[in-house]
């Protein structure tokens, strides 16, 4: 057979295999379910500031009633006034309320807060577990208490809040639960030995719950925000180790509004993960692994590009490792010159 004919036959076979692969994926991944927010009761933890407050604003813009939960009553009252003013300007009768709670507390302290919030707005339809904070330093310098505190607020608070709402969602066969992880929950870097594990844990929880909740038609999603220009991040910068600061600069800085809008749009469209920017998209493809996916196009892209992005990520890691070594040598030189 002529060489050209062999090329044509080979091309047809490759195309056929690719189409079969896409066809198989189509019937393997769960179907996307769009989620209507109008008239729903949405509860946002850590909703008095930063990304949490912007998530509340975005939920209001889609017609939801919103409960924000945090610890500081003054911040809660200020945020609620701002949010309610925005809701009143929309003229659709939406309401905002706040509940003060120490989200590091035990479940029997958290569950009554949810029941109280439901007395006014009805059962929680949307839960966004946003509460969290970060303290960075090298592993040996971080107080042991920092590891425990960050696990409580970043991870266990999400477990407790989810347990408090899921029973009602299962009974109604409807609902949505989001977990705000971090780009540091996909790629761990210098200084994040206390923070990154809590954000990786949220992904593991979300992936497990996604499979468990499929029969109940409860959707689960994860937001992976990069560096975001919030009050908390500005405070973090002041105490960041130099290595962490230099590595973080490579990812850029995003606004809370852009992060919140992207995630609320993904909730509505039935997506399972929200990433920001080109680096975030690449990380999302690279770390998709065994996580759920509802979007056929994204599933195909993940399959085709994950190997290439692994190579790109190794280049990034080489650059990050170089920063760490340079800073180490700089400290040694500084100590020798004293």
**Collapsed DSSP state (helix, strand, coil) of residue 143:** coil
**Collapsed DSSP state (helix, strand, coil) of residue 149:** helix
The catalytic position among 181, 182, 196, 248 is: 181
Per the annotation, the verdict on 195 as an active-site residue is yes
For the chain, the straight-line distance linking the first and the last C-alpha, in angstroms and rounded, comes to: 79
**Collapsed DSSP state (helix, strand, coil) of residue 176:** strand
Q: How far apart are CA 135 and CA 150, in angstroms?
A: 8
Tokens representing residue 112 in the block: 């009554």
The catalytic position among 155, 190, 192, 195 is: 195
CA distances from 85 to 81, 89, 152 (A): 6, 6, 33
For residue 155, the tally of other CB atoms under 10 A from its CB is 21
Per the annotation, the verdict on 199 as an active-site residue is yes
Residues 6+ apart with CB under 8 A from 294: 29, 30, 31, 32, 33, 270, 271, 272
For residue 64, the tally of other CB atoms under 10 A from its CB is 26
**Collapsed DSSP state (helix, strand, coil) of residue 122:** coil
Distance of CA 108 to the CA centre of its chain: 26
The catalytic position among 40, 49, 53, 199 is: 199
Active site residues: 181, 195, 199
């Amino acid at each position: 057979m002529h060489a050209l004919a062999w090329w044509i036959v080979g091309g047809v076979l490759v195309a056929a295999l690719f189409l079969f692969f896409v066809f198989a994926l189509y019937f393997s991944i769960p179907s996307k379910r769009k989620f209507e927010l109008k008239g729903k009761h949405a509860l946002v933890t850590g909703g008095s500031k930063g990304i949490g407050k912007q998530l509340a604003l975005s939920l209001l813009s889609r017609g939801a009633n919103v409960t924000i939960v945090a610890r500081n009553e003054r911040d809660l009252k200020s945020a609620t006034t701002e949010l309610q003013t925005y809701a009143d300007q929309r003229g659709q009768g939406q309401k905002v309320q706040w509940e003060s709670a120490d989200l590091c507390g035990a479940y029997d302290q958290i569950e009554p807060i949810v029941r109280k919030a439901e007395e006014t707005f009805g059962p929680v339809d949307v839960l966004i577990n946003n509460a969290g904070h970060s303290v960075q330093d090298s592993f040996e310098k971080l107080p042991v208490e920092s590891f425990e505190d960050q696990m409580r607020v970043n991870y266990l608070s999400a477990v407790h809040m989810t347990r408090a709402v899921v029973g009602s969602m299962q009974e109604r066969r409807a609902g949505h639960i989001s977990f705000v992880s971090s780009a540091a929950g996909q790629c761990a870097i210098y200084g994040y030995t206390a923070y990154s594990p809590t954000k990786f844990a949220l992904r593991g929880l979300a992936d497990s719950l996604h499979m468990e909740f499929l029969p109940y038609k409860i959707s689960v999603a994860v937001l992976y925000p990069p560096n975001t220009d919030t009050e908390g991040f500005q405070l973090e910068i002041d105490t960041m180790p130099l290595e962490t600061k230099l590595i973080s600069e490579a990812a850029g800085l995003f606004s809370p509004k852009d992060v919140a809008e992207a995630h609320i749009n993904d909730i509505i469209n039935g997506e399972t993960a929200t990433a920001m920017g080109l680096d975030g998209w690449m990380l999302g493809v690279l770390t998709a692994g065994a996580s759920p996916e509802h979007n056929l196009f994204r599933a195909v892209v993940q399959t085709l590009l994950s190997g290439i992005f692994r190579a790109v990520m190794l280049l990034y890691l080489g650059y990050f490792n170089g920063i760490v070594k340079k800073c180490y040598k700089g400290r040694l030189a500084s100590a020798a010159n004293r």
